[in-house]
Homo-oligomer: A and B are copies of this chain.
Amino acid sequence: MKLSNFYLPLLKDVTEQNTLVSHKLTLRAGMVRSIASGLYAWLPMGQRVINNITQIINQEMASIHSHETCMPIIQPLELWNTSNRFESYGKEIVKIQDRRNSNLLFAPTHEEIFTVITKNDLKSYKQLPLFLHQISCKFRDEIRPRFGIMRSREFIMKDGYSFDINEKKSIESYYVMMKSYFSIFKKIGIDIIIAESRSGPIGGSMSHEFLVKIPDNKLVGDAIYYEKQLLDKIQELNNSSNIQDMITIQKYYSAIEEIYQEQPPMQYLPIQKCHGIEVGHIFHFGDKYTKCFNATVKNSQGQDIYPYMGSYGIGVSRLVAAIIEVHHDEKGIKWPYHIAPFKAIILVLHKEAYDIAQKIYNSTNVIDDILLDDTQDTNGTKFARADLIGIPIQLLIGKNTIQNNKVEIRTRSSGKITELHIDDVIHILNSDIKKLL
């Protein structure tokens, strides 16, 4: 992509006071714009990050046979009376009346709908286990929307649901999803801590939060109390980890503040405290919803039973903010490679170097992953912009390139500079850009 063709409106100053660095940086780097309290527009730069995260989630969901769906955002209120949740959510839910005065609502989560749409179609234990998910907009009328996309009213969420024949199988599905979440966050490139949590209005017997660890002097974040070894255990997890590893992880104490105060660990344990931003939340709630909606399937003995369910969320738009909270410096964002809106940016630092830069750009078959800064701005402006928007690899095309055919490669996260021959740079861009890091 040539920068001259891309819509990237930057901001020098952000008027928002007492807010988070991620809020300032998403505005300054042209990722989002505010429309009204808690309502944000995602501009192309932000949307590219959202798309990358979405792709990672969908690939991981496919690998555990969770199928993508798309449920209506607006739903009949009566469904929420059946599950008795309209009251418990209170004013967070916005109610809507249509032209026939039917009561509808903008759904903040989708347990009811997924129970209802499977009610008639799920007939036999042979169809289970079943995982379904979607990535879509939700609206929660927060009492204090703030910090930009970190706590907005309309937001992008992945929500998924599991259906199983009994509690044992359902808990297995819960762990399958837990493992899958660890894989997702690992691929995204962030360190995650897991903590036991309350189920809240979703209900259920078991619930865990996935939190991005942040320094504890932040304006947001929850306190987490955990056994020291847990962090090492999470580090040990990798894509080949099996469900058993999840159960091992669960043996270590880790809880959000609320639970820690009520139920501190029974025996003496070396407990540590940290702060984290919730980006994922999983719930096991058994037959709560299938009972409410009288949604049964036949088991292998031909008896009608209520399937067991779990639900699994990732706050996609909030995740973008949480990642910036931990991956930035005073100059701007430092994107983890896999979710970076562009993998590399070509900076032309000498007016006679433009043709060479253009040649490198045109020689690659991945121009959608590369941003060519073809502006007439000063080198200082170009450097500052590249650092602000946080593209992981900066290719510096200047005098050294004209005279020696060398390209300097600067890594945004470490600032490290290496040097390569133009031909090698083109070769790597065409094979595996990541090798330039």
A residues with a Cβ closer than 8 A to B are: 5-7, 9, 30, 33, 35-37, 39-44, 46-48, 50-51, 62, 65, 67-76, 91, 94, 96-99, 102, 104, 106, 113, 116-117, 120-122, 127, 130, 132, 136-137, 139, 141, 143, 153-154, 156, 368
Which chain B residues border A68 with CB–CB below 8 Å?
A: 44, 47-48, 51
Which of B35, B74, B75 is in CB contact (< 8 Å) with A72?
A: B35
Which chain B residues border A70 with CB–CB below 8 Å?
A: 41-42, 46-47, 50, 156
- Of all chain B residues, the one with the shortest Cβ separation from A34 is B117
B116 touches A35 (CB 8 A): yes
A37 to B75, CA, bound (A): 10
Which chain B residues border A132 with CB–CB below 8 Å?
A: 7, 44
Which chain B residues border A122 with CB–CB below 8 Å?
A: 9
A368 to B58, CA, bound (A): 12
A364 to B400, CA, bound (A): 47
A154 touches B73 (CB 8 A): yes
- Of all chain B residues, the one with the shortest Cβ separation from A163 is B7
A122 to B33, CA, bound (A): 13
Tallying the copies of this chain within the complex gives 2
Which of B35, B76, B98, B113 is in CB contact (< 8 Å) with A41?
A: B113
B33 touches A117 (CB 8 A): yes
- Sort A-B residue pairs by CB-CB distance and give the 6 closest, nearest first: A9-B121, A44-B67, A42-B70, A39-B72, A91-B99, A41-B117
Apart from the given pairs A42-B70, A44-B68, 18 other A-B contacts in the complex at a CB distance below 8 Å: A6-B65, A7-B132, A30-B121, A35-B71, A36-B76, A37-B102, A39-B72, A39-B74, A41-B69, A41-B117, A44-B132, A46-B70, A62-B368, A72-B137, A73-B139, A74-B154, A94-B96, A96-B106
Q: Assess A69 versus B44: contact at CB under 8 Å? Given A9-B121, A33-B121, A113-B35.
A: yes
Which of B44, B67, B72, B102 is in CB contact (< 8 Å) with A154?
A: B72
A156 to B48, CA, bound (A): 20
Which chain B residues border A141 with CB–CB below 8 Å?
A: 98-99
Q: What are 7 A-to-B residue pairs whose CB atoms are below 8 Å?
A: A30-B121, A39-B76, A44-B67, A44-B132, A47-B69, A73-B137, A99-B143
Please give the distance in Å from A40's CB to the nearest CB on chain B. 6
Which chain B residues border A41 with CB–CB below 8 Å?
A: 69-72, 113, 117
A71 to B41, CA, bound (A): 4
- Of all chain B residues, the one with the shortest Cβ separation from A4 is B126
Please give the distance in Å from A7's CB to the nearest CB on chain B. 5
A29 to B213, CA, bound (A): 45
A47 to B39, CA, bound (A): 27
B98 touches A69 (CB 8 A): no
A7 touches B67 (CB 8 A): yes
A105 to B305, CA, bound (A): 42
Please give the distance in Å from A321's CB to the nearest CB on chain B. 15
- Of all chain B residues, the one with the shortest Cβ separation from A42 is B70
A46 to B134, CA, bound (A): 13
A96 to B47, CA, bound (A): 26
- Of all chain B residues, the one with the shortest Cβ separation from A30 is B121
A130 to B43, CA, bound (A): 13
Which of B7, B106, B136, B143 is in CB contact (< 8 Å) with A130?
A: B7
A136 to B409, CA, bound (A): 38
Please give the distance in Å from A429's CB to the nearest CB on chain B. 19
A71 touches B98 (CB 8 A): no
- Of all chain B residues, the one with the shortest Cβ separation from A7 is B67
A40 touches B72 (CB 8 A): yes
